[in-house]
Structure 1
Amino acid sequence: MKQFKLLYLCLSLFVVFSCKTDKGNDTLAYAVETHKDASGFSYETVENDPTGLRLYTLDNGLKVYLSKNNDEPKIQTYIAVRAGSNYDPKESTGLAHYLEHMVFKGTDEISALDWEKEKEYLKQISDLYEEHKAETDPEKKKALYKKIDEVSLEASNYCVANEYDKMVSSLGATGTNAHTWFEETVYKNKIPANELDKWLKLESERFSQLVLRLFHTELEAVFEEFNRGQDNDYRKAYAAMLDGLFPNHPYGQQTTIGTGEHLKNPSMVAIHNYFDKYYVPNNMAMVLVGDLDFDATIKKVNETFGKLERKEVTHPTLPVEEPITAPIVKEVFGPTSESVSIAFRSKGVNTDEEKLMTLADMILANGKAGLIDLNLNQQQAVQNAGCSPMFLNDYGYHTFNGSPKEGQTLDEVKDLLLAQIDKLKKGEFEDWMLDAVINDLKLSETRQYENSTALASMYYNAFIHHEDWQRKVKFLDDLKKITKQELVDFANGFYKDNYVVTYKRQGEDNSIVKVENPGITPVNLNRDKSSEYLTNFNAIEAAELQPQYVDYKTAIKESKTDNGIKVSYIENELNDLFDLNIIFDMGSDNDKKLGLAVGYLEYLGTDKYSAEDLKKEFYKLGIDYYVSAGSEKSYVGLSGLKENLPKGLELLEHLWANAVPDQEAYDKYVDQIIKGRQDGKTQKGNILFNGLMNYGKYGDNSRLRNIMQASELATINPQELVDLVKDVKNYKQRVFYYGKDVDAAIAALNTHHVLPSELKEYPEATAYVEKETGGNVYFVDYDMVQSEMLFLAKGEPFKAENMAASTLFNTYFGSGLSSIVFQEIRESKSLAYSAFSSYSNASDKDESNYVMAYIGTQANKMPQAVDAMMELMTNMPEAEEQFNAAKEATLKKIAAQRITKSNIFWTYEGLQKRGIDNDNREEIYNTIKDMTIEDLRNFFNTNIKGENYNVMVIGNKKEIDFKALSKLGEVQEMDVDHLFNYEKPEDVKL
């Protein structure tokens, strides 16, 4: 199930399967009720709302969404503003997004050392940018930019970079970030519950005013983000689709990132005006979901954000689109594999069309038994296909995507997708599907909204889209009332020749914008200084939160089946969902055909059911099943509603025991694998983080390269694979069950999971030896604007005693917005959008740790970025105050962490693989508590400094400075087929 489908559907935090499924017989009421709490604050609730939302409106208009989730002592926070790229001035696209970045830069108190002096320089910079924007002579523009750079350096003497990030990190916050889209800008933090007071104080100050400090360095980082978008073929195809759907509306005419020309010619005045207009409380919402007290929380929110001044807000009237009366064709070119999309424009949220299209989408593709799932993916008629809806304020769209098999044209894929829509229009789907897809939505939502982050996301989306929460709560009940005939009538009226078809083709993109390196002078970070605000903030004491550790041996209970199989189990105390896993401690390392065989099972039927009928039977039950083989473990599993476990297990065991080989299905499966390999090697992320990284670790002898060649695949008898899957059941195994009524689950296993009296031992696993690193630069040529580099150094074997120091080191040095690497590479020198470093602990006690660093930047900045990163990896900057903040943040994160539910079992599995038999967080916490910066220095000098790196690089050969690269080691241009051990397409004889 695609998660983004769920963002606009009615939600369910707890199971609501008690609702009757017969259309028209539901009796639940959804009245909106108004209450007053003990402090006199009014709030609204919706009757039978499983999420328990309290919706407040402060006197200044701020909407406050509060909901409880006591799984952990944390609160997911969102601050949402109805301010997105739709409202950017036409001459300043990208403004809302750039403003989002600047809201992290502080105020006249946060980050300010001498505000009176700094604001004079900021005024000069703003005036210079206005001149720069108006100037048309290129040389004069360069001169003005040089002046901006000079004044910016002076201004940086009177502020501290990233104080906001230091403060929010000191709370123990995680997930600190923000995003901008068409109608929204949303700011995110997940905080320990005991830090709510300090967080509210900090955020109310942050949103009280805008200070555009460190402007030109952050602008360069945004342009690097723009470059990443130019290197993303999916984003380009998406933008082309929107351009076709919305030739007048900003949805299609103003990208969130903005144009390159506008980004390079910003107006600080326009950004201030935008902030003053839209960042007002009556245009904002605060969402808090987690371990909170309703009455106390709203009182605290009112005492802080209630002071923000209300202003009248008028959003611009946006263009109305004319109907699309004939197909519109778009083409996009780039290096990645080809695909096609078809998009139909719809009405937006809060319309009946939203309900009908949601239901139509699920009938067409639900990941299991939809028309596209069964007729295209199950039949392997295309490489892959699917669809998804999107609903925005003014309009929505229904998008269908498909990738071609080898030798298949994009138009053939398009026609197959349209044919499935025609089946919907003709009503060629079984009547039970309507109830099944609604129950599937309930099941998916129950899983998704068990966690506070997902639920909080639903709340802020409701605010942004002006959605009545009552309507959201009863959304699925409204879907139940839609008849098959009503859905068919809708499909016939909606899906016509009124679509945009976008062809993503392989080839050179001639629209790429390339930019010179502006040569920014590094600004001063002043990390050894603090604003008065930060000093006072750190002096505020919060109630201490004590860490809680898991006694795995009591938390994970054990039983046995009648045939002696160990069953580890944990009770699901929240709802009636279950997860049953049969675990085999062997995988493709033990037999490299195992993964192939398991994947083939997906396309097989039995003597009783076709493959398609099996999918339908599982879908009717509301049961998901999977059979998977990793490198070291394999799993056979079921999940869904507890009451259907026995029937689901019976069906799964039937498939397992009675699968019938199908030569035609196998031939298509092999074609799909080969095409998948060819498509995968066009993806730069796959090349860098799989191909190059594995080669940097293992060389030629790697798990990644130990594959079945295409010519080998063609010679395999499908019966051999079916026999292999069936034989898995005869090996040693164990079971993990998460759910209620373990006795009933074991009874189902006793009845249906019949085993031989003696189980076989596992075959010997293939060993892969990690090679020593250093002196090698592995390069792959790829048509892209940026270049990306990964530095990799093999460290010592895993040691549990190193985990405390490495955890603190990563927080202080390499990861997060307030880390040394981020500040130096991005904040000060503006050399990359993304840069990080980490000491990565091995996941197995017999494997090595690794030192890693990453940079993604324009090719013409790469030599400077490399020098900056290598200097940091050789000489760690030491800042006592920043160390103490990192230490405090790390301790608070551990204190607020709770390992619960099924995660208890899976976490313990990971610990045992490392040779650890207890919750080692207690040891980590106590060690970090006593660490000093001298201890961190010693860790750095022992484990980081002087390491020998293999360097993996992907970029455009025409743009790369190979002379600079050669200083890092011997440069070797790698063939992508060799990295993955693929046969050349011309060598494959099938």
Structure 2
Amino acid sequence: MKLFKKTKLLLFSMLVVGLIGCKTNNNSSSITAEEKNDANGFSYTTYTNDPTGLRLYTLDNGLKVYLGRNTEEPKIQTLIAVKAGSTYDPADNTGLAHYLEHMVFKGTDEIGTVDFEKEQVYLKEISDLYEKHKAETDLEKKKEIYQQIDKKSLEASELAIANEYDNMVNSLGTQGTNAFTSSEQTVYVGKIPSNEVDKWLMVEGERFSKLVLRLFHTELEAVYEEYNRGQDNDGRKMYAKMLEGLFPTHPYGTQTTIGESEHLKNPSMEAIHAYFNKYYVPNNMAVIMVGDLDFDETIVKVNKAFGNYERKEVVHPTFDEVAPLITPVKKTVYGPTAENIYVAFRTQGVGSKDETIVTLIDYMLANSQAGLIDLNLNQQQKVQRASSFTNFDNDYGFHVVYGVPKQNQTLDEVKELLLAQLDKIKKGEFEDWLPSAVVNDLKLSRIRQYENASSTAYAFLSAFIGEQDWDNRLKMLDDMKNISKQDIIDAANRIYKDNYVEVHKLKGEDPSIVKVENPGITPIKLNRGKESDFKKKFAQVESKSLQPKFIDYKSKIKEAKTANGIEISYIENETNDLFNLNIIFDMGSDNDKKLSLAAGYLEYLGTDKYSAEEIKKEFYKLGVNYYVSTGNDKTYVGLRGLKENLPKGLELLEHLWDNAKADQEAYDKYVNKIYKERQDGKTQKGNILWNGLMNYGMYGENSRLRNIMQIDELKEVNPEELVSLVKDLKNYKQRIFYYGKDLDAAITALDANHKVYGDLKEYPEAVKYTETETGGNVYFTNYDMVQTEMLFLAKGEPFDPKNLAASRLFNTYFGSGLSSIVFQEIRESKSLAYSAFAAYDTASEKGKPNYVLAYVGTQANKLEQAVDAMMDLMNNMPEAEKQFNAAKEATLKKIAAERITKSNIFWSYERLKKLGIENDNREEIYNTIKNMTINDLKSFFDNNIKGEKYNVMVIGNKKDLDVKSLQKLGKIQELEVDYLFNYVDKKKIKS
């Protein structure tokens, strides 16, 4: 279960109303609420000129039901939301809301139990022991009580069925089963096939009816592992420090969602029950469903599942007003990652005038194209990178500008540059067209969101948690349009004073790190072969048949040509008036290392007509984005935006392409930026493990990751050469993919602007990289962190399409998801990790090998147990017939609900062709899985997984490393980060 931290993108999808796939209607000025009754007599509210088509029901018991319709695919995005989060945690019991979120997955008196009458006796004893444990101050006596808890928990687990809820919802073909907790909300997530509404509501209606805290102590350890991951996340620590400074007397700043270590060590089952009984009541909850549904049928079913919940009076706590910030507040965070800075200002909360105007200012500062920060700082390379974001909760909000320094630049210098951009807003030093262009850009982005059921559901969620009327959310952009330049200036001068919180993230050891003991939990029983009476009834409910639909790529993708003979693949956009145009070159950095360098350099260039900043402005005014990107084997020159502006956008892109002027000063800054990116990348543990170590495990010394140009080489490159390289792209073989409306108009624009002459050149020969054999190697990189993370990697046989069905079923059954074997054994039974998974990873290209991989992140003092547990699983697959059947059913249902639509048709076909496949192979996969037995899966396991020889990649703190447990896996070799990425000339390797 992830702790929820809002990002600018997610905030935007909520704020700007991520809406449904339907014809665009931006005329929201006449939005009004209307009360209506459906065919069954249920009353609901609907809104005129609402592109989402929301029906908002309120059941008799107060439950809100948000329904939206999107028929693009036979799926429904579901969210079950509770207006309760960490803000309402008792000050002496922080982390309670989040831990409760975990426990709601454990079942009820009906789900997850063999005999609840007997089980509840044990659970009461365990609860009493926890209260005794919480009250005890003597550490030795606390340990003795914990041993009693462990003993009783093992006995109680004999009557529990771990993951029964997960197994049931997974068997429906549900995707993305998860939950998150933030300050004022706890939300349970899943995307279900549209024919499984009855069974899903049967489970969820039971799930929230009663809280049973079974398997409590093992899940508490999982939460502690999550806590440890947070201690290893400098960004999360920065965010917490920022809140602490902004809200020193409010729970937003005085307590975190994950909770304090001491509170996690001393939980109270009674307090968690009390919290559930107080807030998990219908008039404090919402059921949100967006997708392929029938309104009238769905509300009847929701009412049947939740309508008998008892309404209770809910009083949310209120808090004293936080005193205004008068002077800057400085906070410091230490950790191994690169230095950066937040500068944060407190604002009013959701639904306030501040929300509207601060959001406008935020995008005037940073919109990834033509904001003041974008042009004055990023474009001119005055900082390594910078941007801004907002967040609005019920009581307050905040606006953050942030930046990463260049080499030899201080955080204070970055801060002054960021504040200077705010000063420009305060002084009115911005062009008059910018606010209107921002609003139009937000509307354009909203159109893109119309296509996505999930973003619509989250928009409804935001309105519910913020207690906002939906019509006001729809009107927000129109309100923004009416904000004058003087309004912006006045608001900026009111909000952006010397009343900010600055958080400096510095490199160094964090003195606040909490070391956690291994409590020595006895593995609990999983009881895979057992099932509750509820599950038996669940299995008897029949769902309507949902048949898969497969694509005939050659009929779906239309073909045409430009006047000069370039082939165009075309798919019509039937949803809205946006387009996406890609000019594709089947060569990349493997063909020429300088190609990606040149593509990135173009970002900073102007022409004889426009400066680099002016070009960005012109594109932004048109509502069009351009991009030039290079991968290993492909280069794309692309354009996307409003169809009506395709000709002007393409004309501008071609002008830049043909007339870009080299700029030595911009190139020197660009090289310095690359150098700093490399230095910063060395501080990111995810980059070290999943990029550096993984590539070394696959390729050894001869990988494309290490085949790079050194900084001294980059400095010697003539920027004129890079400009010529970009311009010369036009002379190579190329093809075009167009997704949009009016192909003829697009071809006319291409004929007028995209000029190529003569015979097009063949591509340079690509460098080949050969995967090494795996086995007997442990590659370790030292990193200052709490956890130790391990990746097991084994090279398999070359890609064979005949294995695709078995590998997909294997991954569902064995390695991925909350109901998989690996998750159950490593986390649920043994509490060795928060995250653990395994997969048979098929190659992306014909002739390349498949890989077997497994991952576990755990406390250093659990490393030996985790290694033994994972290796045992990778050599001895547990055979559970019922779980296999559920996994098989889930896999088939997921395929049946899959729809490849829109531009994805083309990109899906591109991926298949790389594998030598010309048809929609899902049909063969589906039919093969239908006939598979657990013996077939065991045969696949024995032939492809069991006995494989692994390279093991490990990242962790050297001083905490359990060497003996790793030596069992092979020869330990310590690899320095500089060597992994080839940032130094001499090989640095220790044995």
Give the shorter-chain TM-score range: over 0.9
The AA in structure 2 aligned to 1:809 is F
- With 667-676 and 425-434 compared, the bigger mean Cα shift is at 425-434
Q: Residue 44 of structure 2 contacts residue 57 of structure 2 at CA under 8 Å; is this kept in 1?
A: yes
Which deviations, in whole Å up to 9, do the C-alpha atoms of 1:684-713 show, x marking residues without a partner?
Answer: 000000000000000011011111110100
Which deviations, in whole Å up to 9, do the C-alpha atoms of 1:848-905 show, x marking residues without a partner?
Answer: 1000000000000011000000000001000000000000000000000000000000
Q: Does residue 1:10 correspond to 2:16, yes or no? A: yes
Which deviations, in whole Å up to 9, do the C-alpha atoms of 1:332-356 show, x marking residues without a partner?
Answer: 0000000011000000011111111
Which deviations, in whole Å up to 9, do the C-alpha atoms of 1:21-76 show, x marking residues without a partner?
Answer: xxxxx783111111111101111111111111010000000000001000000000
What are the equivalent positions in structure 2 for 1:50-199 lying under 5 Å apart? 50-199=51-200
Q: 1:243–1:2: structure 2 CA closer, same or farther, 3 Å change rule?
A: closer
The equivalent of 2:710 in structure 1 is 709
CA distance in 2, matches of 1:14, 1:202: 29
The AA in structure 1 aligned to 2:39 is A
The AA in structure 2 aligned to 1:666 is Y
CA distance in 1, matches of 2:71, 2:16: 22
What are the equivalent positions in structure 2 for 1:430-829 lying under 5 Å apart? 430-829=431-830
Q: Residue 153 of structure 1 contacts residue 524 of structure 1 at CA under 8 Å; is this kept in 2?
A: yes
Which deviations, in whole Å up to 9, do the C-alpha atoms of 1:557-585 show, x marking residues without a partner?
Answer: 10000111110010000100000000000
Q: Residue 84 of structure 1 contacts residue 96 of structure 1 at CA under 8 Å; is this kept in 2?
A: yes
The equivalent of 2:214 in structure 1 is 213
CA distance in 2, matches of 1:16, 1:915: 38
Q: 1:985–1:331: structure 2 CA closer, same or farther, 3 Å change rule?
A: farther
The AA in structure 2 aligned to 1:408 is Q
The equivalent of 1:879 in structure 2 is 880
Q: Cα distance, 1:984 vs. partner?
A: 7.4
The AA in structure 1 aligned to 2:867 is V
Which deviations, in whole Å up to 9, do the C-alpha atoms of 1:87-120 show, x marking residues without a partner?
Answer: 1011110000000000000001101101111000
The AA in structure 2 aligned to 1:756 is Y
Q: Secondary structure at the match of 1:649?
A: helix
Q: Residue 23 of structure 2 contacts residue 575 of structure 2 at CA under 8 Å; is this kept in 1?
A: no
Which deviations, in whole Å up to 9, do the C-alpha atoms of 1:644-667 show, x marking residues without a partner?
Answer: 000000000000000000000000
Q: Cα distance, 1:319 vs. partner?
A: 2.7
CA distance in 1, matches of 2:893, 2:951: 35
CA distance in 2, matches of 1:80, 1:111: 22
What are the equivalent positions in structure 2 for 1:173-572 lying under 5 Å apart? 173-572=174-573
Which deviations, in whole Å up to 9, do the C-alpha atoms of 1:595-614 show, x marking residues without a partner?
Answer: 00000000000000000000
The AA in structure 1 aligned to 2:860 is A
- With 267-276 and 27-36 compared, the bigger mean Cα shift is at 27-36
The AA in structure 1 aligned to 2:63 is L
Q: Secondary structure at the match of 2:239?
A: helix
Q: Cα distance, 1:493 vs. partner?
A: 1.3
Q: Cα distance, 1:9 vs. partner?
A: 2.5
Q: Cα distance, 1:16 vs. partner?
A: 8.5
CA distance in 2, matches of 1:7, 1:410: 31
Which deviations, in whole Å up to 9, do the C-alpha atoms of 1:412-467 show, x marking residues without a partner?
Answer: 00000000101111111111111110011011121123111111011011101101
Q: 1:860–1:882: structure 2 CA closer, same or farther, 3 Å change rule?
A: same
The AA in structure 1 aligned to 2:570 is Y
Q: Cα distance, 1:986 vs. partner?
A: 15
CA distance in 1, matches of 2:487, 2:25: 25
What are the equivalent positions in structure 2 for 1:812-851 lying under 5 Å apart? 812-851=813-852
Q: 1:195–1:5: structure 2 CA closer, same or farther, 3 Å change rule?
A: closer
Q: Residue 15 of structure 1 contacts residue 446 of structure 1 at CA under 8 Å; is this kept in 2?
A: no
CA distance in 2, matches of 1:985, 1:483: 60
Q: Residue 25 of structure 2 contacts residue 51 of structure 2 at CA under 8 Å; is this kept in 1?
A: no
CA distance in 1, matches of 2:23, 2:720: 44
**Which stretches in structure 2 are left out of the alignment for 5+ residues?**
1-6
Q: Cα distance, 1:304 vs. partner?
A: 1.1
Q: Secondary structure at the match of 2:506?
A: strand
Q: Cα distance, 1:17 vs. partner?
A: 7.6
**Which stretches in structure 1 are left out of the alignment for 5+ residues?**
20-25
Q: 1:546–1:270: structure 2 CA closer, same or farther, 3 Å change rule?
A: same
Runs of 4+ in 1 over 6 A off after TM superposition: 14-18, 984-987
The AA in structure 2 aligned to 1:6 is F
Q: Secondary structure at the match of 1:176?
A: strand
Q: Secondary structure at the match of 2:803?
A: helix
Q: Secondary structure at the match of 1:916?
A: coil
Q: Secondary structure at the match of 1:111?
A: coil
Q: Cα distance, 1:983 vs. partner?
A: 2.7
Q: Residue 224 of structure 1 contacts residue 833 of structure 1 at CA under 8 Å; is this kept in 2?
A: yes
Q: Cα distance, 1:4 vs. partner?
A: 2.9
Which deviations, in whole Å up to 9, do the C-alpha atoms of 1:794-841 show, x marking residues without a partner?
Answer: 000000010000000000000000000000000000000000000000
The AA in structure 1 aligned to 2:255 is Q
The equivalent of 1:861 in structure 2 is 862
Which deviations, in whole Å up to 9, do the C-alpha atoms of 1:477-497 show, x marking residues without a partner?
Answer: 000110011101111111000
The AA in structure 2 aligned to 1:785 is V
CA distance in 1, matches of 2:20, 2:760: 41
Q: Secondary structure at the match of 2:761?
A: coil
Aligned pairs, number? 981
Q: Residue 86 of structure 2 contacts residue 255 of structure 2 at CA under 8 Å; is this kept in 1?
A: yes
The equivalent of 2:3 in structure 1 is none
Q: Secondary structure at the match of 1:827?
A: helix
The equivalent of 1:22 in structure 2 is none
CA distance in 1, matches of 2:431, 2:373: 14
Q: Cα distance, 1:15 vs. partner?
A: 8.3
Q: Secondary structure at the match of 2:413?
A: helix
Q: Secondary structure at the match of 1:474?
A: helix
- Percent of aligned positions with the same letter in both sequences? 69
The AA in structure 1 aligned to 2:139 is P
What are the equivalent positions in structure 2 for 1:972-983 lying under 5 Å apart? 972-983=973-984
- With 6-15 and 939-948 compared, the bigger mean Cα shift is at 6-15
Q: Cα distance, 1:13 vs. partner?
A: 4.2
CA distance in 2, matches of 1:523, 1:757: 72
Q: 1:129–1:894: structure 2 CA closer, same or farther, 3 Å change rule?
A: same
Q: Residue 22 of structure 2 contacts residue 450 of structure 2 at CA under 8 Å; is this kept in 1?
A: no
Q: 1:951–1:182: structure 2 CA closer, same or farther, 3 Å change rule?
A: same
CA distance in 1, matches of 2:347, 2:803: 55
Q: Cα distance, 1:539 vs. partner?
A: 1.3
Q: 1:453–1:18: structure 2 CA closer, same or farther, 3 Å change rule?
A: closer
Q: Cα distance, 1:515 vs. partner?
A: 1.1
Q: Secondary structure at the match of 1:624?
A: strand
Q: Normalising to structure 1: TM-score of the pair?
A: 0.98
CA distance in 1, matches of 2:708, 2:524: 50
Q: Cα distance, 1:544 vs. partner?
A: 1.0
Q: Normalising to structure 2: TM-score of the pair?
A: 0.98
CA distance in 2, matches of 1:317, 1:438: 35
The AA in structure 2 aligned to 1:225 is E
Q: Secondary structure at the match of 1:382?
A: coil
